[in-house]
């Protein structure tokens, strides 16, 4: 970076770095720093005279967040990975001899807010009752060359908080430093994922990995990202779903498998969609979609408790309860409830007429399944705030799903709706290879009509089915959307560390 692109503060900090070098101080040391405590541990466990001997030699490291200069003594705040703690630093402690350079020059002039320091000292309580560290020695561990955005605090309240989404998403590293609640959101997300993993492991499921780079983008109706494998000279696709590979493992003899899958879809971006996203899929042999609904309820109840300590969560101005059991309603009944139309016996032309009545766009390229999906999406989906299973979908909407055992024209499928959005999609999986081939061929016809989200034929998957796949139930969960619900975030970007952004203009 040339000097003309630097701010005045950035230039000053680089000059300070040079001054440190002249003093023989390495601002980026390689050696291990012997941290033996954390801010939170000290604040939670220090009891004053009762156990001060246990805190006579503490060593912590973190980022300087504020300084109160009182001449020959200063109070400052250091932030480590788990919280903040005040420390007291005095000239005579740092420089007991005649040379006062370490305090008067290094501490007072060359250390900035944002620098990462290691401090050693003992714990004490100030006259105002605040647990603090009395510093005997400090070490510069990293010189910060770019000033942090400043967030002011008073009496536990933050002022001038950094709220600009463009800055927060693009510079998440700075966002995490200055907005502690952001870090807490991601910690909760990890607790949620760990709880789900624990739930599945306890029930005998095996976690697996399947290919991200695929020769056929199967398992979902979506537009893939394409690339090219130079050595084989063939087109390749980033996976849009891991479904067909997990089913191959069921064919191979595994009874219960799952994967936290990073998927990619070359489609739009909005508050609930990012081109790169995380899905949990699991498949269980000898189960059906009724078993899957029961299992899903219990798993999400456990995840909610692990994340927030309760099944009820606040999402915006609504309270959502993840305690099992959840309401169940068929798709046709849901459409009838919210539109007044019973479309269960209608053909494609009839459903197009309903779309016109409801003023819903009905593209000529769309088949019956896509039209029904549009009606449900625009008129019904947003009404389901509490967790609700929408069941028994039309066969045209579900090319990978087993026909309903008692209702002609329907399949054994459900979607779980919550806060007006789909968060899970499940089937009794189609395991008849002849019928599966016919369903794929119907998708090819849609592709020929111009539907660029129709599925490719996966001949290897059909070959696997011909060896015989046991009756199987499968499900896919949108992990990012569930994280949004359980952490009360309104945008998918707030539960992704580094969401997709337009390229920065650095000119």
The domain that holds 460 is classified in CATH as: 3.30.930.10
Domain termination residue (choose one: 355, 385, 415): 385
Residue-level pLDDT at 504:
83
Residue-level pLDDT at 440:
86
Q: Domain check: are 59 and 143 in the same one?
A: yes
Q: Domain check: are 270 and 399 in the same one?
A: yes
Q: Domain check: are 419 and 490 in the same one?
A: yes
Handedness of CA 486, 488, 494, 497 (dihedral sign): negative
pLDDT at 293 over 80: yes
C-beta of residue 42 within 8 angstroms of C-beta of residue 78: no
Domain termination residue (choose one: 385, 402, 424): 385
C-beta of residue 362 within 8 angstroms of C-beta of residue 371: yes
Q: Domain check: are 91 and 222 in the same one?
A: no
Residue-level pLDDT at 365:
84
Structural domain boundaries, residue 202: 182-326+386-494
Q: Domain check: are 438 and 397 in the same one?
A: yes
C-beta of residue 372 within 8 angstroms of C-beta of residue 331: yes
Query: Is 172 inside any structural domain?
Result: no
pLDDT at 154 over 70: no
Query: Is 276 inside any structural domain?
Result: yes
The answer to which of 125-129, 400-404, 430-434 has the lowest mean pLDDT is 400-404
Q: Domain check: are 412 and 266 in the same one?
A: yes
User: Per-residue confidence at 161, pLDDT binned at 50, 70, 90?
Assistant: low
Stretch 74-90: mean pLDDT:
97
Stretch 261-289: mean pLDDT:
94
Residue-level pLDDT at 119:
98
Q: pLDDT per residue over 184-207, tens digit each?
A: 999 999 999 999 999 999 999 999
- Beta bridge mates, 87: 76, 133
Q: Domain check: are 100 and 190 in the same one?
A: no
Q: Domain check: are 307 and 338 in the same one?
A: no
User: How would you list the strands of the sheet with 213-214, edge to edge?
Assistant: 213-214, 234-238, 226-229
Query: Is 171 inside any structural domain?
Result: no
Q: What percent of the chain is predicted at pLDDT more than 90?
A: 80
C-beta of residue 282 within 8 angstroms of C-beta of residue 210: no
Half-sphere exposure of 327 (CA within 13 A, CB side): 15
Q: pLDDT per residue over 422-456, tens digit each?
A: 999 998 898 999 999 998 888 888 877 877 767 77
Contacts of range 8-14, beta carbons closer than 8 Å, 24 or more positions apart: 9/147, 10/145, 10/146, 10/147, 13/112, 13/143, 13/144, 13/145, 13/146, 13/147, 14/145
pLDDT at 10 over 90: yes
The answer to which of 118-132, 306-320, 399-413, 415-429 has the lowest mean pLDDT is 399-413
pLDDT at 153 over 90: no
Residue-level pLDDT at 44:
97
CA distance 494 to 19: 40
CA distance 354 to 356: 5
Q: Domain check: are 266 and 343 in the same one?
A: no
Query: Is 175 inside any structural domain?
Result: no
Q: pTM for the complete prediction?
A: 0.89
Q: Domain check: are 85 and 224 in the same one?
A: no
Domain termination residue (choose one: 365, 385, 405): 385
Query: Is 223 inside any structural domain?
Result: yes
- 446 versus 32: the higher-pLDDT residue is 32
Query: Is 39 inside any structural domain?
Result: yes
Q: What is the CATH number of the domain that holds 55?
A: 2.40.50.140
Q: How far is CA 230 from CA 215, 225, 227, in A?
A: 13, 16, 10
Which of 416, 345, 343 minimizes the C-alpha distance to 381?
416
The answer to which of 152-161, 353-362, 404-413 has the lowest mean pLDDT is 152-161
User: Per-residue confidence at 14, pLDDT binned at 50, 70, 90?
Assistant: very high
Q: Domain check: are 333 and 322 in the same one?
A: no
Residue-level pLDDT at 455:
75
The residues near 414 (Cβ < 8 Å, ≥ 6 apart) are 289, 292, 293, 328, 389, 390, 391, 392, 393, 425, 426
Q: pLDDT per residue over 311-350, tens digit each?
A: 999 999 999 999 999 999 999 999 999 999 999 999 999 9
Query: Is 173 inside any structural domain?
Result: no
Q: Domain check: are 202 and 75 in the same one?
A: no
User: Per-residue confidence at 395, pLDDT binned at 50, 70, 90?
Assistant: confident
Query: Is 154 inside any structural domain?
Result: no
Residue-level pLDDT at 2:
56
- Structural domain count of the chain: 3
Helices marked H in 309-347: 331-339
């Amino acid at each position: 970076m040339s000097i003309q692109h630097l701010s005045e503060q950035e230039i000053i900090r680089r000059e300070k770095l040079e001054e440190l070098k002249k003093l023989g101080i390495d601002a980026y040391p390689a050696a291990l720093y012997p941290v033996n405590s954390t801010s939170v541990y000290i604040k939670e466990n220090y009891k004053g005279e009762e156990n001060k001997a246990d805190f006579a030699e503490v060593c912590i490291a973190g980022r300087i967040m504020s300084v109160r200069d009182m001449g020959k003594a200063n109070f400052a705040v250091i932030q480590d990975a788990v919280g903040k703690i005040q420390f007291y630093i005095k000239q005579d402690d740092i420089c007991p001899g005649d040379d006062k350079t370490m305090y008067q020059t290094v501490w007072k002039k060359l250390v900035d807010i944002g620098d990462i320091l290691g401090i050693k000292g003992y714990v004490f309580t100030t006259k105002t009752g605040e647990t603090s560290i009395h510093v005997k020695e400090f070490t510069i561990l990293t010189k910060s060359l770019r000033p942090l955005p400043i967030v002011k605090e008073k009496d536990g309240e933050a002022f001038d908080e950094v709220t600009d989404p463009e800055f927060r998403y693009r510079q998440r590293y700075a966002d995490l430093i200055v907005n502690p609640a952001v870090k807490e959101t991601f910690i909760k997300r990890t607790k949620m994922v760990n709880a789900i993993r624990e739930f599945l492991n306890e029930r005998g499921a095996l976690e697996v990995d399947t290919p991200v780079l695929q020769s056929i983008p199967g398992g979902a109706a979506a537009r893939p990202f394409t690339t090219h494998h130079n050595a084989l000279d063939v087109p390749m696709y980033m996976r849009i779903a891991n479904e067909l590979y997990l089913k191959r493992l069921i064919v191979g003899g595994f009874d219960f498998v799952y994967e936290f899958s990073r998927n990619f879809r070359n489609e739009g971006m909005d508050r609930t969609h990012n081109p790169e996203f995380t899905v949990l899929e699991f498949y269980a042999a000898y189960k059906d979609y009724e078993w899957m609904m029961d299992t899903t309820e219990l798993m999400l109840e456990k995840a909610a408790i692990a994340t927030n300590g309760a099944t009820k969560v606040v999402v915006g101005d609504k309270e959502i309860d993840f305690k099992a059991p959840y309401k169940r309603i068929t798709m046709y009944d849901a459409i009838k409830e919210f539109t007044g139309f019973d479309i269960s016996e209608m053909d494609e032309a009839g459903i197009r007429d309903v779309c016109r009545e409801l003023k819903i766009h009905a593209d000529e390229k769309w088949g019956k399944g896509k039209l029904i999906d549009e009606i449900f999406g625009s008129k019904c989906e947003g009404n389901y705030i509490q967790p609700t299973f929408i069941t028994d979908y039309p066969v045209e909407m579900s090319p990978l799903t087993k026909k309903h055992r008692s209702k002609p024209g329907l399949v054994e499928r459900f979607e779980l709706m919550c806060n007006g959005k789909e968060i899970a999609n499940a089937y009794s999986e189609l395991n008849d290879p002849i019928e599966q081939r016919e369903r794929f061929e119907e998708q090819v016809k849609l592709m020929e009509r111009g539907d660029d989200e129709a599925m490719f034929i996966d001949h290897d998957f059909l070959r696997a089915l011909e060896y015989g796949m046991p009756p199987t139930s499968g499900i896919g969960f949108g992990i990012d959307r569930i994280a949004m619900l359980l952490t009360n975030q309104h945008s998918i970007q707030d539960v992704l560390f580094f969401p997709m952004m337009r390229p920065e203009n650095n000119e």
